Amino acid sequence: MVEIALDRMCNKVVISAVVNTCNEEKYIKKCLEHLRWVDEIVIIDMYSTDNTVEICQRYTDKIYFHKREVSVLYARNFGVSKAAGEWILVIDPDEIVPETLAQKILELVNSDWGNKYVACAFPFKTIIFNKWLKYAYPIEWHPRLFKHGYVSYPARVHSQPIVYGRVYSLPAKDEFCIIHNVCETIDRFIGKMNRYTTDEAYHMYKDDKVKFSIYDLFRKPISEFIHRYFLRRGYKDGIEGFIFSSLMSLYRLCTYLKLWEMSIKEWMM
């Protein structure tokens, strides 16, 4: 088991884990079981209609509610504001922090490491269709541990947090990887895709001032498939690599179709 730090025994909240939820009863129990070592678990729920909240109540009484949004990123800052910890660990309900990474986190926050850095980026192993797509979706780094007050989140799907200071990145070793179960079924992928592509198209149109073009409508989806399946060698991931590369191509197509739709609606007004 992970050793309990001295500050924790003195009831000082050193690490707060912030988890945003919305109908995640399938994943949340396993996620929270791997967070028992933190000093505080804060749940921000977007009014789940399944048993998510009931499951969370077994692990914490720090449960708050936020209006439902297209993505949990819209509630990240709200969740951080509810945390009392000196350090904030942001985890999604379909992610797992292995014990070896938990030990490393405790080692870092209980050393002078925090005098040099304000955040730590972890390598992520993304599981799709119950398989790690080593080539089509290789390891990525995301800052998920940070000092309270040193990070803010833009309200936009797939955006990266803004970090006000130096970020330390752990090496891409298995023992330091967060396990991210993105989707086990095509149905779950399509559900996420519909929400996320709407948000991406909106911000491309309103914020980035991207103009729709027939050229990009064809080029972007084709480039996405070529990049993942051939350049990243997603073909080495077997049939799952082909399916995922195809779905990501469809994701780009939907984004640009929705961009077209927004352009047409504004033109007609």
Average pLDDT of the chain is 93
Rounded CA separation 249/229 (Å): 10
Residues 66 and 139 in one domain: yes
Answer yes or no: is pLDDT of 219 > 50.
yes
Residues making up the chain, counted from first to last: 269
Rounded CA separation 117/223 (Å): 37
What pLDDT does 4 receive?
41
What pLDDT does 267 receive?
65
Q: With respect to residue 1, please indicate whether it lies within any of the assigned structural domains.
A: no
Taking CA atoms, 191 is separated from 24, 126, 157, in Å, by: 14, 18, 14
What does DSSP say about strands 162-163 and 167-169: parallel, antiparallel, or unpaired? unpaired
Q: With respect to residue 116, please indicate whether it lies within any of the assigned structural domains.
A: yes
Please report where in the chains the tokens 């027939």 appear, as a residue.
Answer: 214
Please report where in the chains the tokens 């904030």 appear, as a residue.
Answer: 88
Residues 122 and 194 in one domain: no
Q: Which two tokens stand for residue 140?
A: 């990525």
In this structure, the number of other CB atoms found within 10 A of the CB of residue 177 comes to: 22
Rounded CA separation 124/162 (Å): 19
Give which of 22, 28, 19 is closest to 68, Cα–Cα: 22
Residues 155 and 227 in one domain: no
Residue pLDDT, tens place only, 222-248: 999 999 999 999 999 999 999 999 999
What pLDDT does 3 receive?
43
Give which of 140, 141, 133, 139 is closest to 233, Cα–Cα: 133
Residue pLDDT, tens place only, 85-95: 999 999 999 99
By the 8 A CB rule, do 148 and 86 touch? yes
Residue pLDDT, tens place only, 153-168: 998 888 889 999 999 9
Alpha helices by DSSP H, listed for 134-237, are 186-206, 214-225
Q: What is the pTM of this model?
A: 0.91
Residues 61 and 143 in one domain: yes
Domain that includes residue 90, residue range = 6-182
Residues 144 and 168 in one domain: yes
Rounded CA separation 109/5 (Å): 10
Residue pLDDT, tens place only, 114-168: 999 999 999 999 999 999 999 999 999 999 999 999 999 998 888 889 999 999 9
Rounded CA separation 101/125 (Å): 13
Q: Which of 182, 201, 223 is the last residue of a domain?
A: 182
What pLDDT does 9 receive?
43
Domains held by the chain: number: 2
Residues 175 and 192 in one domain: no
Residues 211 and 259 in one domain: yes
Q: Which of 143, 160, 182 is the last residue of a domain?
A: 182
